[in-house]
Chain A
Amino acid sequence: MTAIPDPHAVAPAPSVRAPADADPPPPPPRPFLTRLGDWASDDIPAAIALVVLSVIVACSIFAPWIAPHDPTLQNYDIILEAPSPDYLLGTDDLGRDVFSRLIHGASASVYAAFLSVGVAALLGIPVGLIAGYAGGYVDEAVSRIIDTFLSFPAIVLAIAVTGVLGIGLTNAMIAVGIVFAPQLARLARARALVLKQELYVDAARCFGASTGHILIRHVLPNAIQPVLVQMTLLMAVALLAEASLSFLGLGMQPPEPSWGSMIARAYLYIQLAPEQMWAPGIAILVTALSFNTLGESLREALDPTSR
C-alpha cells in the first residue's frame, strides 16, 4: 500500500528527514536572473531596448547627480560651441551644456510617455471593456464617440485639448493621453466582445458573480495582452508627441529642458550649428525605437499560439 504522503509530515523542524519513500521535492524554481538571461539571449533586440530604456529611466531619476553642469545655467562666453571634453555635446545658443540638458530632458520624456499612456489606459481600458461587455445601446454610443475621436488628426486634437487645459508639459501630456484613449478603448472593446462569449464567463455568472467581478477577474486579464502591446507602442508616439508639442511651445516651458524643446531651439540655429539637432534627435529616435522593439517582443512573448 502506498499511502498518500502527508504534506505536514515533511516537518516544521528542518532536522527531521523526510521519509525515504516520500515524493522527491519539486525542482526549485529557476532564479529570476537565469530566466531573464534566457529571454535576453532569445531576443537580443528586445534585451538591448530594455537596457537602453533602463539607462534613460536611470538618467531621468539621477539627473542632478549625473549631469556635469546645471542645465539652466547660461554662459554667454561659450555660445553654440562645438563638443569639447568639458562640454561633451557642446553648448546651445544661451551657452548651456547640451549634455546636461539632454540628461535632464530624459525625465521630461519619461514623465511625458508614462503620463500620457497612463491617462490613455485609465480612460480607454474601462470604457472599452464596459462597452464591449455591455453591448447594445451602450456599445453603439461609445463606439460612435470613439470613431469621432479617431477621425481627428491626433496632433490637432492634442493642440485643441491643450488649448482647453492650458499650456504646460502635464496638461499637454494629459491631452495626448485623451487623444490616445480611443485607440486603447477600441482594442479593449474588441477583446471584451469576444471574451464575454467565453464559457468561463458563463461559469462565473453561474456562480453568481457580479458584472464587476467578471470584468476585473476574467475579461480584463484576458483582454489586456494586445492592449499592453499597444501601450508600449504608444509610449514611442507619446515621446514624439511631447517633442512636437514642446516644439510648438505647448509642452515643456523654458528654461526647463526637454528633448522636443531642445530641437525646437536648435532649429533656429540650424545654419550656424546643425550638430545641435543631433543629440536630442538621436535621443528621441533611440528611445522611441526601444519602446517599439519592446512592444513587438511583448506581443510575441504574450501570444499563446507562438508558445
Chain B
Amino acid sequence: MNPRETLTSPRSEASAGNVAGTAARPEAETAAPVISVEDLAIAFPSLDGRETVKAVDGVSFAIAPGETFGIIGESGSGKTTIGRALAGLLPPTGGTIRYDGEDLRGMSRRDWRDRRRRYQIVFQDPNAALDPRMTILQSLIEPMKIAGGRSPEEMKAEAMRNLDRAGLRAELADRHPHELSGGQKQRVNIARVLPLNPRLIVCDEVVAALDVSIRGEILNLFAELQREFGIAYAFIAHDLAIVAQVSDRIAVTYLGRFMELGPAEAVTERPLHPYTAALLSAEPRPLPAHLRAPRRIELKGEIPSPVNPPSGCRFRTRCPHAQGLCAQQAPEWREVRPGHHVACHFAGPDGLVEHASQQSSAKTDTGGDHR
C-alpha cells in the first residue's frame, strides 16, 4: 500500500464543519485557489553587488484550499525562497502572488499586515523560531496579541486550547524554549499559528531538524490539522519520501524553475522529467532488489550557479539525455498528461521520448548500487 494513503486519505472523511477546505480538494482544479503564483521571480544582489542571483526565475502554480502542495529540490534550487515569498517575507522582484485572488502589493502597510496573517510559515529550525526570552505561553499568545480583538483571558484560554490541540501538556506553558525538545518546540510553532485561522501554512523543511522518530508524529499532526481546519500546505523539503507521503501534488524545482509539476503519485511513480527520475532513483527504497528500479541514475557535478544559469534548459549540463536542442531553446512548460506539467523537450505522455531514453542507457550507472 502506498504509505501516502495512510497519512492523507482520512482527509476525505473530514468533519462537516470544514466543508470549505476538505470538500474543495477533489476538484482542486476548479476551486478558487488559496494562493496563485504567476511567473514569480526573486533575485538578490550578489555579495559584491555587481551581479544578481536569480533564486527563483519564472515559477507559476496555484494551491487549492485544503491541498498539500509539495515542493522538492536540492539545496540552491530556490524552494525555500519560494516558500518565504508565499509567506510574504520576501517581496517578489517579478511576477505576482495572489492571496485568495488578491494582489496585496500596493496595499497600505496596515492592511497588508492584516491580510497576510492567514498565510503562515513554519520554519525548519523549531528553536530559532521561538524567542528565547519568552515563555511558551507568551509565544502562543503573541500572534493573537498582534491580531488584536481578544481579551487577555480569551487569549490565554485559546493558547492553552491550542497547546493541548498540538499534543503538549499544559504545564509546558510556563517553560522557556530551551527547556523543550525539538519536537515539542515544533508543536508550539504549529500551535501558535492556529488562532490566526490560516488558509495556507508554508512548511519549510519542518521535519528536517527533527529526530526520525519524531517526524511521523509531527507529520500526523499536520495531517490532522488539515483535516480539521482545511488548511492548505506548501510543503517544502529535500526529502522526496516525505514529500511524496504527504503531498497531493508535487513540484520539482531546479535552479529557480519548476521542472515538473503533477499529482504526487504520477510524479513519483511515472516521472516525466529526467531530473525527477534521477531524484527518485537516488531514493533508498525498502523493497527487495527485483522490485526496485534496476539502475541508479547518477547526476554528475554540482547544481550550476544561479548567477549564470545555463542557456536553454537549465538541467542540460547534468542531464543524461541532453542534446543540441537543449542548449539552444528553453523547453516549454507543457501539460503532457492531465494536470501533469513538465519542462522537457523530450517528455511524452509515457515518459521520455524513445530516442532520448535509448541514449541514456549508455550513460546511466550500471555498476552502481546493488543493495
Contact = CB atoms under 8 A, between A and B. Distances in A.
Chain A complexes with chain B: yes
B289 interface: no
Contacts of A202: 84, 89, 121, 123, 129
A208 B116 CA distance: 7
Given A222-B132, A222-B133, A203 B121 contact: yes
A200 B147 CA distance: 17
Interface stretch (A128-136, A210-218, A254-262, A275-283): A210-218
A213 B113 CA distance: 12
Interface string B245-274: 000000000000000000000000000000
B123 A203 contact: yes
Interface string A183-221: 000000000000000111011111111100100011001
A176 B89 CA distance: 41
Contacts of A203: 121, 123, 129, 189
Given A207-B196, A209-B113, A209-B146, A200 B131 contact: yes
Nearest to A224: B133
Interface in A268-307: 304
Contacts of B129: 199-200, 202-203
Interface string B139-152: 00011001100000
A210 B113 contact: yes
Among B84, B119, B146, B189, the most chain A Cβ lie within 10 Å of the Cβ of B146
Contact of A222 (B89, B116, B131): B131
Contacts of B133: 221-222
Contacts of A221: 131, 133
Interface residues on A, range: 20 to 34
A203 B116 CA distance: 12
B128 A199 contact: yes
A304 to B, nearest CB: 7
B113 A199 contact: no
Contacts, number: 59
Given A199-B125, A202-B89, A203-B123, A208 B131 contact: no
Contacts of B147: 207-208
B130 A200 contact: yes
B117 interface: yes
B180 to A, nearest CB: 14
B142 A206 contact: no
Contacts of A206: 87-89, 116, 119-121
Interface in B188-207: 189, 193, 196
Contacts of A204: 142, 146
B369 interface: no
Interface string B161-198: 00000000011000000000000000001000100100
A26 B132 CA distance: 23
A200 B146 CA distance: 14
Contacts of A304: 132
B114 A199 contact: no
B123 A207 contact: no
Contact of B117 (A7, A26, A208, A222): A208
Nearest to A202: B89
A208 B132 contact: no
A218 B220 CA distance: 31
Interface of B: 84, 87-89, 113-114, 116-117, 119-121, 123, 125, 128-133, 142-143, 146-147, 170-171, 189, 193, 196
7 contacts: A198-B128, A203-B129, A207-B143, A208-B146, A208-B147, A218-B131, A222-B132
Given A7-B170, A203-B129, A208-B147, 13 more contacts: A26-B171, A198-B128, A200-B131, A202-B89, A204-B142, A205-B88, A206-B87, A206-B89, A207-B196, A209-B113, A218-B131, A222-B133, A304-B132
Q: Would you list the 10 A-B pairs with minimal beta carbon distance, nearest first? A: A208-B113, A199-B128, A207-B143, A199-B129, A200-B131, A208-B117, A207-B146, A221-B133, A209-B146, A199-B123
